[in-house]
Copies of this chain bind each other. A is one copy, B any other.
Amino acid sequence: MNVIIDLCVVPMGVGVSVGKYVVECQKVLQEAGLNHQVHAYGTNIEGDWDEVFAAVKRCHERVHAMGAPRITTSIKVGTRTDREQSMQDKIDSVAETQM
């Protein structure tokens, strides 16, 4: 089952600057070979369900290993059986409808 998710990992108990944890999560996604795209309030990721969620788990493991005692994460998860749709398709569909 293919999935598109939006991931926002928030480490708690480590101060206000969390950039280095976000970067570590980007590395996890890179290592996993998952197509992903950062935006100002999270990261879009697409791929096989199991691979995507294994990467989310590794993000939590790594961020804890870096010293964050607590993490709260928001995820949006999209699946569909009617047709294939990539992250780019979703952005294109909005752009096309606007014309």
Of B20, B50, B75, the residue contacting A75 (CB under 8 A) is: B75
CB distance from A18 to the nearest CB of B (A): 7
CB pair B37 A40 closer than 8 Å: yes
**Cα–Cα distance between A71 and B80 once the two chains are bound (Å):** 6
Provided the pairs A1-B60, A26-B98, A37-B39 are in contact, do residues A13 and B10 lie with their beta carbons within 8 angstroms?
A: no
CB pair B22 A76 closer than 8 Å: no
Consensus secondary structure, chain A interface: mixed
Chain B positions within 8 Å of A37 at CB level: 39-40
Of B1, B75, B93, the residue contacting A74 (CB under 8 A) is: B75
Chain B positions within 8 Å of A18 at CB level: 12
Given contacts A26-B94, A39-B44, 9 further A-B contacts (CB under 8 A): A10-B72, A12-B12, A20-B97, A40-B46, A41-B44, A49-B60, A70-B80, A74-B74, A75-B76
